[in-house]
Structure 1
């Protein structure tokens, strides 16, 4: 494969910049390597570029400059390489992005669609996909809700369905965009513990965007701080100090 990475990296961004059509620059010359098995978080204020960074890693927002390279595959600008990369990359969203009228099981089965052609996906999926989806629901503690419509589930339960859907892809990389932003503290801790446990058990690399500094310190082994589309800090939680936070949250007073 062309441009494949070596070592522990699963994806690498090389001098990536993203400018939106209306002229706003969200990322500026970002060079970043995500490694296999690490549980990382990106911190920053609203508008710092956190969501754009995650979407660029999955090419939902292609860079206007620079390249994104997936280990063992190559440059994501190649459509075939991008399809393989997305197949092994799970996405978790703040607003869940579930089909509310469908059951939890039906939603989780959507995580298997990347393994089938468009025409095959119009038919009921094979039993092996059903078993994978049920196993994923069991792992997030929702096997008893498999046939329950999503619209009657709580916010925390919906997020667990979203995690199960991403897990059903058998991913090597998990991207989570503000996965606990709409949850109460108790539910947020449950979701973070669940994500951490699953990723560690399966050797999945994870990158989450968060606002909550305390959650980043408690659960993650790497913190990436963004401000104005640029990396301000990149290192372990123990190395994150008040002056780093002051740079990341330039318009806020930081309480340690």
Structure 2
């Protein structure tokens, strides 16, 4: 479990991105951060593994401790996979080599300059198989479609053998069909492996379809935190500041 206690983020220009956020993130739960652009979704997501360091408050990982400790942070990041909107892959490298990047946290810097052990390659191939891309293992990722590249990104995160997956707008650049395939596959894997996922989205229909829990954000504050079936139109209006976007009852 991950505990966020009174988390706030204020940027140098005075912008308040998050304000006194307290949450418990549960292993095995598929949590969706829902909100418009600028609501604080990405900032909250990045605070969970200290890619953004909170201005105040703390992040505590069960069994490890507070992330302010560098040794604890390294252990936490080792077991926390990150999936990015723009994939963050190495275009000229094969899908397999990109997925192997997810194994580097288990080796010293010196060891990473040499081919990784066979066990790591087997783990990487298994992860590609799970996202339906085993046949693309030796294909440079620049030759893959956007949806396929995102699946490589998921496989790279899975190669870490994570306890939690953090996904920042993972389907924002994809068409609806590809988006559903990505989210269906991601949730299935999380359910099979008992992985907790925190996924930032702005699409209401995807949040309702895939979330076990929705956390609705606006202006750096939590306006809703419950099961998708509990959310009402007036709450979505507050989250989005625009009732024309609302289709839920």
Q: How far off its partner does 1:136 sit?
A: 0.3
Question: In the alignment, which residue of structure 1 is the partner of 2:68?
Answer: 77
* Residues in 2 aligned to 1:156 and 1:170: alpha-carbon distance in whole angstroms: 22
* Residues in 2 aligned to 1:150 and 1:50: alpha-carbon distance in whole angstroms: 28
Q: Which runs of 5+ in 1 are unaligned?
A: 1-9
Question: In the alignment, which residue of structure 2 is the partner of 1:7?
Answer: none
TM-score, scaled relative to structure 1: 0.95
Q: How far off its partner does 1:253 sit?
A: 2.4
Q: How far off its partner does 1:255 sit?
A: 3.0
- Aligned pair 1:125/2:116, yes or no? yes
Q: Residue 148 of structure 2: which of 150, 157, 174 is its match?
A: 157
3-state DSSP of counterpart to 1:253: helix
The total of aligned residue pairs comes to 247
Q: Residue 226 of structure 1: which of 213, 217, 229 is its match?
A: 217
- Aligned pair 1:211/2:202, yes or no? yes
* Residues in 2 aligned to 1:254 and 1:45: alpha-carbon distance in whole angstroms: 10
- Aligned pair 1:239/2:230, yes or no? yes
Question: In the alignment, which residue of structure 2 is the partner of 1:52?
Answer: 43
- Aligned pair 1:30/2:21, yes or no? yes
Q: How far off its partner does 1:35 sit?
A: 0.5
Question: In the alignment, which residue of structure 1 is the partner of 2:54?
Answer: 63
* Residues in 2 aligned to 1:115 and 1:253: alpha-carbon distance in whole angstroms: 48
Question: In the alignment, which residue of structure 2 is the partner of 1:194?
Answer: 185
Q: Which runs of 5+ in 2 are unaligned?
A: none
Query: Which of structure 1's runs of 4+ aligned residues deviate more than 2 A?
Result: 251-255
**Counterpart contact for 1:242–1:254, Cα < 8 Å:** no
